[in-house]
Structure formats: C-alpha cells, structure tokens
Structure 1
Amino acid sequence: MWPVRRAVGEVLLALVLAVSTAGIESLGDGGPVRSAAVGLAAGLLSPLRRVLPLTVLLAAVVCSAPLDGLAPLVPVAAWSAGRRSTGPGRAVGTFTSAVALGLGLDAFKDSPGLSLSSMVFFTMWLLITIVVPGIVGGYWYQRDALADLLEQYRVQILRERAMVAEQARLRERQRIAQDMHDSLGHQLALISVHTGALEVDRELTGRRRETVAVLREASVTAMHELREVVGLLREGTEPADGAGPGAPAAVSRTRRGVAGVEGLAEASRAAGAAVTLRHTGERRPLPPAADHTAYRVVQEGLTNAHKHAPGAPVAIELRYEPDSLVVEVANGPGPVPAGGGRPEVVSGGQGLTGLGERARLVGGMIHTGPRPDGGFRLAGVLPYTVSESDPAGPSPLREARETRRSPTTFVGPAGDFGEQTRAGSSGEGDPVIDWNDLPKELSKAMSKRSKGCGIAALIILVLVIAAGVGGYFLLKEGDKAMIEPKKYDAIKVGSTEEEVRKQLPQGDTFLTKGLDEGAPPIPAGASCLSLTSTEMGSSWDKSPVFRFCFKDGRLIEKKSFEVKS
C-alpha cells in the first residue's frame, strides 16, 4: 500500500501526463477521440511504471513512434526504470534496447527522407529522453540506499558507544563501591565492636549505657545502609523492597519515608536532645522518591542541629497542605559552653546541597536560613504527585547517583552523528568512526556508488560530446534548408534555373520533409524546391515556407506560405 503522499503525487503526475499527451496529440493530425485515447493511455501507464518499469519504458518508446503525444511519458518511464534496475548489466541492456528500438522505429518511419544528419539528431534525442533520466534515477536510488545504510551504521555506532559508556560507568561504580567498603566498612565495624564492648561494661551508669546503646545502634544501621549502597553500585539495580543485603526488615520499614521520622525523633531523644514532633493536616501518601526525601530532610535537620547547636531544642513539623507536604526542622540557639567557645565541628558542606538536588528531582524545593532567635530552620516542600522529570518514581539512591554523576564524553543513543564525532575526537583518543575499517556492506555500497558515479560521469561526458556533434550537424542541416526573407525577395521570376539554384541551398535534408503538406498546388509539369525561413511564423505552431518552381530550365513561380510545424 502506498502512503497518502505518494498516492496523491502519482494521481497528480498521471493527470499532468494525460493532459499533456492529449494536448500534444491534438496538435497533430489526430482528432479528439484519438487525443483522448492517447491521454487515457498515458494516465494508465504512469502508475503502472512503478510495478513494471522496464515494460512500461519499452511500451512508451514503441508507442511514441506513431503517436507523438506519448513522448512526455518516455523520460518519466526511464526515470523509474533507472531507479529500479537491480544491476548495471541489466540497466545497460534495458536502456540500450530502448534506444535501439526507438532509433529503429524512427528510421523506419522516416525512411524516405533518411540521412546521416537525421540519424544523429534522432540518436541524440533518444539519449537525452531515455538515457539521461535513467542515469539520474539510478543515481538517486543509489543515494537513497547509501543514506539508509549510513543511518543503520550510525545507529549501530551509537548503540555500541552507549554500551561502552555503560560498561565504563559500571566499572566506576564497582571501584567506588570497593573504596567505600574498604574504608568506611572498616571504621564502622570498629565503632560497632567498641560500642558493643562498652555497653556490657559493668562500670557504666544507666545513662551512659543508654548513650552507648544509641551509638551502637547507629553504627549498625550505618553498616546496613553502607551495604545497600555498595550493592547498588556493584549491581546497578535496586532491590525490590528497598532494603540492602542483610538489613533487617524492621530497619527497612522504619528507615524509609515519613513513617521513619518518629524513629529519628526517638533516637535523638535517647541521645539527650529535646525533640518534639507535630503532624498537622490530613495525612496523604507520597510517591516513593518524595517520601524518602521527606525522611532525609528530617535526618539532615537533626544531624545539623546535633553538630552545630548541641543541646538546643528541636521542633519537627509535618504539615500536609492541599498540594504538597511541608517538612520543617527548626532548632533554637545552642547553649554556650562555660569555656566561652564550642568544639570544632567537621562538616563537608554537602548535605544541604545534596538535599536540594533530591528535592528538585521530585519537583520540590528546599529552604534554609537562620531564625530570629539565633537558631536555624530547614524546610522542604514536596508535592504529592510525581514530577515530569521523574515519571517512574525512581529510587532516591538512583536519583542521587544520577544527579552526582560526573560528565562523560560519551553521547547517548539520541545524540547525532556530529556530536559522536566531536565527543570522540578530542585529540587524545580515536574518533568514533574509523573510515578505514568500515563494514563490508558499507564499503561495498560506497564502492558501488563510486563506480556508478564514474560510469554516469562517463556517459554524461559522451552525451555532451555527442550533443556538440549533433548541434554541429543540425547547423549544417539548417544551412541546407533555410534562407533569409531578403534573399527570397531578391530572386526574380524568369531567371534561369541554374542561376537560381546557385543562390539557394540544396534542400536535401530531413528539415524540409513535410513542407509540401497543405501547400498551394504545384504548377503542371513543374519541379519545386521548398525551403524554410530563418524567421518565425505568425504563430508558434506554424512555419514559414519559401517555394521555388522550375519548368523548362527557368523559374516560373515563387510562393511564400505557412504550414503547420
């Protein structure tokens, strides 16, 4: 089935060919019925050329000999035949047969007045109307085929580059996971062992024992989270339940989302902090990513309060607004130690930055700033619906990993060919495409196209030379058939035939054929010479003719008239 655009184009082309062929045929001797039949035949053969291009070409060449109106169909059929010729041998054979067939039919049709000049002219006409459209059509087909092959090769290159980039990212994740496991894992294990030993020490009081228990629980939880992150970095996928290897179910349930905020508050209270938690509004569920971000906002707020304002009261509020959840952590100013200063706190300054990135990924925002009483306030606004930037609601760990991923020179599959080349040819590595190592299919197609272009260029050169030769012969034939009006006026009736013929061209050329059709009657017993004028006729379909009639060795009549071209 043809697409709509092609079907409409074929219908329009068929109509144009039908009207043009009928009009050309009507200019000849054919009547209206014949002209209509020729137009209908051209309109029917036009779409058929896509199915049987070679057959339609030969049929058009054969029928255009007796029917001049079918001449416009010949180059159209030659174009289609050139596009659909499967091999050079078949194409050469087809077009050679078409040219030879057309030349033979024209020679048979014009055999009484056939000359070398007319043969050259007919050959040139057939080459221009058959061979040139066929070459252009074949070139266009090879261009489209090579473009399709290049597109397939481009997609393959992009796919391979995407795979290489993914492998590089996997290796980098594995390296990071190994570093985290070797460094942080060792330190957390030491903390867990020492706090466990302190917890069973008989010399500790009850209050200190509770503090050590909180530290041990925090170190164990940190170990579980570290294992989860390491597992994600190594495998590249997140467990379905969100828990890492070896993490207890209770930890997975309480450490994630708004439901884990109460546990954070309890842990801070157990450590001696004055923490209050308040819920306002009707509780509504959040997407997994936003739910986890709310947990991280509270966790970051408590961490900063413990580090920068130890001993200060902390207020946590979860406020359910109509369109979003507002999570707020506010602490008052911390008590000043008796020594007049506070211990130095080690902080990387990345917590709030990463928190803002998390909030943006889910379509929310983070606000931080000092309070009028000298404290600090951290608030997050998180929507209830998933943002367009994260329609699938990816996990928070994946979001953080994608956000903090360093730029890479690899371009994704959606990138274009130029970006691939620029990205891979920075001077330090090889370009994306090595044109000396193309696939066999692409090399074969390019070689075939190069040969086809060479053959086409050679044929076009031959045609140009032949056109020059044909133009020269046509000028020579014109000298044999044409005179100027002033020379016609200078010749007088009654002059001797020998004297007149010396002033006139010979007239033995195909250009004078048919000049006697529709001419005035020839005088009895006279022989006449008909020539064409160098000037145009009174209309585009008429040609002026000068006729000289001789009898008994003298010019007895000269006439000027017009005949149909």
Structure 2
Amino acid sequence: MDVTSKMRAGRAWLQGPERWTRAALLKDCAMAAVLALLGMPLEEIEGGAWWRHTLSAVVVVLLTLLRRRLPAGTLVAGAVISGVLPGAFLVTILLAWSAGRRIVGVTRAVVAFTLTFALEVGVAVVTEWSNTRPLWIAVFVTLAFLATTLMPGLASRYWYQRRTLLHALQERNAQLMRERAMIAGQARLRERQRIAQDMHDSLGHQLALISVHTGALEVDPALTERQREAVGVLRQASVGAMHELREVVGILRDGVEAPVAAEDTVQPAARGVAGIGGVVEAARAAGTEVRLTVTGATRPLAPACDHAAYRIVQEALTNAYKHAPGAAITVELRYEDDSLVVEIANGPAAAERPDGVVSGGQGLTGLRERARLVGGMVHAGPVEGGGFRVAGVLPYGAEPAGAQGPEPDDFGQLAVRVSGATAPMDWAAVDRELAVGRHGRSPGGGVALGCGIAFAAAVLLLIAVVALIALMASSADEAYLTREEYDRVQVGQSEKEVRKAVPSGDSIMTSGLDRKGPPKPAGASCLALLDPEDDTDLAKDRVFRFCFKDGKLVEKQTYEVDAG
C-alpha cells in the first residue's frame, strides 16, 4: 500500500461515518488554533517556554480532529491534558459538545462524563496541591466542569436527539404520504371504473338506438332529399358520439384511449384545431349559418391545448344552437405571437327559444377549467345588440396550472411531491404526527425536559457561584491582620495566646500562602494572613506568617507574594 492510500485510509478512519471535506478539515484546524490561543494564560504567553506553547497547540488540534472517531476517549483525554498543558482548557467545551451527540447509549455517556469529572478533579488536586486546599480545588473544578463540560454535553445531546426524532418523523410522514397516495389512487381508479361502466351501459345503449333508428330512417323512400341529409347528419353525429364515448370510457377505466375496433368503418372524429372545420360543416349542414375565419401563421399546439380549442368551439356552437336558434355564428381562429385566440360569437336569436331545452349549466365552467389547466383562459358574456361571445386564449405550449402553484386534489387538499410521486399534503396530519413523540409523548414534553435539564444545570451553577461568593465574603474577616496586630505578637508567646489574638486564617484567600514564602522552620506549622492596608502594588500581596513549634511561636515573617 503506497503512502497516498495510507493517507486516504487514515483520513477515512478519522472522519468515521460522517462526510469530511477539505473545508471541514480547515475549519477544524482553525477552530482548534483559536481555542488554543484563547485558552492560553497571559503570563504563559509572555514568559512561558515555546515548546509548551507548541505542544499545547498540537494536542488541541489532535483532540479536535479525533473527536469524531473517539468522542469518549478525547473527552477523557481532554480532562487530563487541560489540567497539565496551558491553552488546552477551552477545548473541553468542543469535546463535550461532540461527545454529547456522538456517544451511543446513556450508560456510556454517563460513565464518560463521570470519569471526566473525576480525572479533572484528580489532576487539579495533584497539580495545585501546594498552592491551595483540596476542598477549594474541588469546588473550582466542579464549577468549571458544569460550565465547560456538562452543560455543553447535555445541550448537544438534547439537540441531536431532537433533530434525529424530527428526521424520523419526517421520514415516517413521507411514507404515510406515499401510502395515502396509493390508497387515493386506487379509490379514484375504482370510482372511474364505476363511472365508465355506468356511461357505457346507459349512454352507449341510447346512442346505439339513435344510430340504428336514424340509419333506418335515412333509407326510408318517403323522405325528401333534404330530410335524408338532415337524418344523415344525425346518424353521423350519433356514430361520432359513440366513438367519443368509447374513448372517454377507455380513459376513465384504464387511463388510455380505447382501441378502435377492426370492424368499425368510421374513424373517431378529430378533436383538435384540425377538427373545427368538420364541426362547422356539420353545423352548416344542419341549417345554421356559420362562418369560419383563420388569421395568422398556423402553428402547432400541444395536444392538451389543441383539444381545448376544439372543445371551446364545440361547446360554444352547442350553446348557440340551444339559446339562439337561427342566429348567425362566426368562428375565428387567430394565431398570435404567443397564443391562439379562439372566438365564437352569435347574433340575437332569430326565433323563440324552444321549450324543453336540456342544459346542464356546467359547460362554460368546464371550458374555463380546461383552459386554466393548460395555462390559458376563457371569457364568455353577452355583447351589444343581444348576441353572445365566447373567447379563449390558449398558449402554444401546454403550461400546467400546477407549475404556478399547488392545486387541490380530489379531497380538497394541497399536493406535495414526495419521492417523485404526487402525494396529498395533509397539514393537520403533519401537525398531529409531529405532536407525537416516542412512547406517545409529545415534543412539547421533550422540549420541557431539555429546557428543564439546562435550567437545572444553570441553577446549580448559579447556586455554586453564589455559595462561593458568600463563603469568601464570610471568611474574609478570618484572612486579614493589621500591621499593629502583627507587631503586638512576640516570638516566644504560646501558640494558644497567639491564635486568640489573631484571626484563624480559615479562608480561601489565605490558602497556600504559608508555603509561598521563605522556608519554614523544621517541624513547624505556620499560619499565614494578609495585610488589608497593603495598596502600594496591586500585583503583590503582603503576607504575615506565624510559625509554631512545640506549642510556642518560634518565628514570624513578613513577605510579599503575587496577587491572585
């Protein structure tokens, strides 16, 4: 295996199951450098050894890069290293955030964070044993652990689990959408088959009777030539209606046009712009004055638009027959630059409207919907002089109305595209789905739980800080000794007398001060106190130290130490 393959394999191991791009690598390195720089103490930057700075930066970068593959291991290692190397303190925030979401299992996470806490306390006690008391070390480390490790880990784990739950709910919702779309499609298919069967059984029978009777009447010798032509028009219309009914029934039943039977000698009527001339000729043969004009350069239309133009002319002529019998009709097709304009107008009725004319009242509504579905429009209304006009504007290329926005489906709901299929989007169902979490609990409960954990951690941290401040304030009187009191104490006095005359020194502010001054007498125990009036140098503190041996004061010293 060559070097390149080894590097590629190592990078794949580092990134684990997550995708790790070059930009992500640079981002991690930059973030590690910033954390190392911000976590470096000022005195370490000014006077520390360069090798410690370099080692700290390298360790922080390594921990940052390894946190994806070894979340628990890097968290524990960060707890140890942050107490030894300067600049590695802030990386525990990043490691805790990463470990909170990547450690699998609650037990493992609890063990990892508990071990981290124990190691942080242990390392701090060992490294700072000579400077302060172990109790105060434990208090400070506990506060730091809450702020920089526990709270980021809890927040990360809650955020990641909530995101995972929402993703699972979305996947489940998409699956339910697909299943519902399949059920709705099956229901529509069954209903279409029922409608197709009803149409075939009722209309097919009636049209067949009309065709047979008009065919017999056409050869009746008692009819005049003009009557035979009118009967022939009726027979051709009934035969064409039967063919169109067969096509519609086929589309309703199977979604495709029904095949033309071999024994059929009459082909189905053309149902496009090319068939408009036939419709006009049929109207003329029936005795209606119809004039057809075509202007502009003929252009091909999409099939849906072509059929819509035919239906507009057909429906407008039918309305003119029924509501304005005997009126002259003009049909105009205008090929504009971007659309086809179909206009049908008739004058006032030449005769009274016959009684018993059947009208469904949905013809113009259907035309408007048909035109809208292909991106066009239809206008209908009366004109001056008592006539009526129907005009449709149709684009040359079909532009489904769905492209402009979601349309209601059969159930009056919006449709959404899911995995390549159109599925109804039931927003109420989505809200109900997202309102149900695992084991029947709602995300509201999860939000309350996550917020409760964060609030409890914040309250605990606040209580600890307040308690620490109160403890320091209450013990401040035991940490200070004035110069006059110091001068009144003489070497050789009994330890009991001296301790009664001076404060006890039981304060965090005096912890470790007795070990920072000159060497203590052999076998002696010392008490260190602070001078409250020392304001000459804010960076230094004056210390009064009393050393006792065999129940007597054997030495008292005054010296200065670095403040803080």
The two structures share one fold, judged by TM-score above 0.5: yes
After superposition, the Cα gap between the structure-2 partners of 1:410 and 1:287, relative to the gap in structure 1 and judged at 3 Å, is closer
| 1:466-507 alpha-carbon deviations (Å, 9 max, x no partner) | 99689868966886786465x524515133454442243444
User: Does the CA contact (< 8 Å) of 1:526 and 1:550 recur in 2?
Assistant: yes
Aligned length: 530
Distance apart, 1:194 and its partner CA: 2.0
SS at match of 2:87: helix
SS at match of 1:493: helix
User: Does the CA contact (< 8 Å) of 1:124 and 1:467 recur in 2?
Assistant: no
Q: Which of 347, 368, 379 is the equivalent residue of 2:359?
A: 347
Distance apart, 1:219 and its partner CA: 1.3
| 1:94-124 alpha-carbon deviations (Å, 9 max, x no partner) | 2333333333333433456786624642662
What is the alpha-carbon distance in structure 2 between the residues aligned to residue 151 and residue 73 of structure 1?
35
Q: Write the mapping of 1:106-117 to structure 2, written as runs, cut at 5 A.
A: 106-111=124-129, 117=135
Q: Report the counterpart of residue 195 of structure 1 in structure 2.
A: 214
After superposition, the Cα gap between the structure-2 partners of 1:8 and 1:514, relative to the gap in structure 1 and judged at 3 Å, is same
User: Does the CA contact (< 8 Å) of 2:36 and 2:87 recur in 1?
Assistant: no
SS at match of 1:121: helix
Q: Report the counterpart of residue 398 of structure 1 in structure 2.
A: none
After superposition, the Cα gap between the structure-2 partners of 1:365 and 1:132, relative to the gap in structure 1 and judged at 3 Å, is closer
After superposition, the Cα gap between the structure-2 partners of 1:312 and 1:82, relative to the gap in structure 1 and judged at 3 Å, is closer
Question: Is 1:548 equivalent to 2:540 in the alignment?
Answer: no
Distance apart, 1:49 and its partner CA: 1.7
Q: Write the mapping of 1:16-27 to structure 2, written as runs, cut at 5 A.
A: 16-23=34-41, 26=44
What is the alpha-carbon distance in structure 2 between the residues aligned to residue 423 and residue 111 of structure 1?
62
User: Does the CA contact (< 8 Å) of 2:373 and 2:400 recur in 1?
Assistant: no
Question: Is 1:356 equivalent to 2:368 in the alignment?
Answer: yes
What is the alpha-carbon distance in structure 2 between the residues aligned to residue 324 and residue 472 of structure 1?
81
Q: Which letter maps to 2:67?
A: R
Q: Report the counterpart of residue 98 of structure 1 in structure 2.
A: 116
What is the alpha-carbon distance in structure 2 between the residues aligned to residue 108 and residue 212 of structure 1?
115
Question: Is 1:283 equivalent to 2:298 in the alignment?
Answer: yes
| 1:276-314 alpha-carbon deviations (Å, 9 max, x no partner) | 333333211112122112212221232223223333333
User: Does the CA contact (< 8 Å) of 1:117 and 1:473 recur in 2?
Assistant: no
Q: Write the mapping of 1:71-86 to structure 2, written as runs, cut at 5 A.
A: 71-86=89-104
Q: Which letter maps to 1:211?
A: A
SS at match of 1:491: helix
Q: Report the counterpart of residue 428 of structure 1 in structure 2.
A: none
| 1:376-420 alpha-carbon deviations (Å, 9 max, x no partner) | 33333323233363679xxxxxxxxx99x88625553469x9973
Distance apart, 1:264 and its partner CA: 1.0
Q: Report the counterpart of residue 489 of structure 2 in structure 1.
A: 495
Distance apart, 1:343 and its partner CA: 4.2
User: Does the CA contact (< 8 Å) of 1:106 and 1:122 recur in 2?
Assistant: no
State the identity as a percent. 43
Q: Which of 292, 313, 332 is the equivalent residue of 1:298?
A: 313
| 1:220-253 alpha-carbon deviations (Å, 9 max, x no partner) | 2112222222222222x234xxx6664969644x
Distance apart, 1:85 and its partner CA: 0.9
Distance apart, 1:260 and its partner CA: 0.6
After superposition, the Cα gap between the structure-2 partners of 1:215 and 1:535, relative to the gap in structure 1 and judged at 3 Å, is farther
Q: Which letter maps to 1:563?
A: D
| 1:127-174 alpha-carbon deviations (Å, 9 max, x no partner) | 524444433333333222222212212222222333333333333333
What is the alpha-carbon distance in structure 2 between the residues aligned to residue 180 and residue 196 of structure 1?
23
SS at match of 2:369: helix
SS at match of 1:69: coil
User: Does the CA contact (< 8 Å) of 1:317 and 1:329 recur in 2?
Assistant: yes
RMSD of equivalent CA atoms? 4.6
After superposition, the Cα gap between the structure-2 partners of 1:55 and 1:215, relative to the gap in structure 1 and judged at 3 Å, is same
Question: Is 1:274 equivalent to 2:273 in the alignment?
Answer: no
User: Does the CA contact (< 8 Å) of 1:493 and 1:558 recur in 2?
Assistant: no
Distance apart, 1:269 and its partner CA: 2.4
For structure 1, the residue ranges without an aligned partner over 5 or more in a row are 393-401, 426-430
What is the alpha-carbon distance in structure 2 between the residues aligned to residue 418 and residue 232 of structure 1?
23
What is the alpha-carbon distance in structure 2 between the residues aligned to residue 550 and residue 96 of structure 1?
41
For structure 2, the residue ranges without an aligned partner over 5 or more in a row are 1-18
SS at match of 2:248: helix
After superposition, the Cα gap between the structure-2 partners of 1:214 and 1:466, relative to the gap in structure 1 and judged at 3 Å, is closer
What is the alpha-carbon distance in structure 1 between the residues aligned to residue 312 and residue 462 of structure 2?
84
Q: Which letter maps to 2:100?
A: G
User: TM-score under structure 2 normalisation?
Assistant: 0.77
User: Does the CA contact (< 8 Å) of 2:368 and 2:377 recur in 1?
Assistant: yes
User: Does the CA contact (< 8 Å) of 2:514 and 2:527 recur in 1?
Assistant: no
User: Does the CA contact (< 8 Å) of 1:83 and 1:141 recur in 2?
Assistant: yes
What is the alpha-carbon distance in structure 1 between the residues aligned to residue 409 and residue 322 of structure 2?
30
Distance apart, 1:319 and its partner CA: 2.7
After superposition, the Cα gap between the structure-2 partners of 1:150 and 1:3, relative to the gap in structure 1 and judged at 3 Å, is farther
User: Does the CA contact (< 8 Å) of 1:324 and 1:382 recur in 2?
Assistant: yes
User: Does the CA contact (< 8 Å) of 2:101 and 2:157 recur in 1?
Assistant: yes
Q: Write the mapping of 1:346-495 to structure 2, written as runs, cut at 5 A.
A: 346-372=358-384, 374-387=386-399, 389=401, 408=411, 410-413=413-416, 420=426, 422=428, 443=439, 483=478, 487-495=481-489
Q: Report the counterpart of residue 528 of structure 2 in structure 1.
A: 530
Distance apart, 1:218 and its partner CA: 0.9
Distance apart, 1:11 and its partner CA: 4.4
Q: Which of 113-122 and 317-326 deviates more?
A: 113-122
What is the alpha-carbon distance in structure 2 between the residues aligned to residue 306 and residue 43 of structure 1?
87
Question: Is 1:69 equivalent to 2:96 in the alignment?
Answer: no
User: Does the CA contact (< 8 Å) of 1:268 and 1:275 recur in 2?
Assistant: yes
After superposition, the Cα gap between the structure-2 partners of 1:58 and 1:371, relative to the gap in structure 1 and judged at 3 Å, is closer
After superposition, the Cα gap between the structure-2 partners of 1:369 and 1:148, relative to the gap in structure 1 and judged at 3 Å, is closer
What is the alpha-carbon distance in structure 1 between the residues aligned to residue 534 and residue 161 of structure 2?
44
Distance apart, 1:70 and its partner CA: 1.9
Question: Is 1:60 equivalent to 2:78 in the alignment?
Answer: yes
After superposition, the Cα gap between the structure-2 partners of 1:264 and 1:388, relative to the gap in structure 1 and judged at 3 Å, is closer
SS at match of 1:412: strand
Distance apart, 1:331 and its partner CA: 3.1
After superposition, the Cα gap between the structure-2 partners of 1:29 and 1:500, relative to the gap in structure 1 and judged at 3 Å, is farther
After superposition, the Cα gap between the structure-2 partners of 1:501 and 1:68, relative to the gap in structure 1 and judged at 3 Å, is farther
User: Does the CA contact (< 8 Å) of 1:409 and 1:423 recur in 2?
Assistant: no
What is the alpha-carbon distance in structure 2 between the residues aligned to residue 538 and residue 27 of structure 1?
26
Q: Which letter maps to 1:488?
A: T
Q: Which letter maps to 2:233?
A: V
User: Does the CA contact (< 8 Å) of 1:483 and 1:533 recur in 2?
Assistant: no
Distance apart, 1:81 and its partner CA: 1.8
Q: Which letter maps to 1:299?
A: Q
Q: Report the counterpart of residue 395 of structure 1 in structure 2.
A: none
Question: Is 1:318 equivalent to 2:333 in the alignment?
Answer: yes
Q: Which letter maps to 1:327?
A: V
Q: Report the counterpart of residue 134 of structure 1 in structure 2.
A: 153
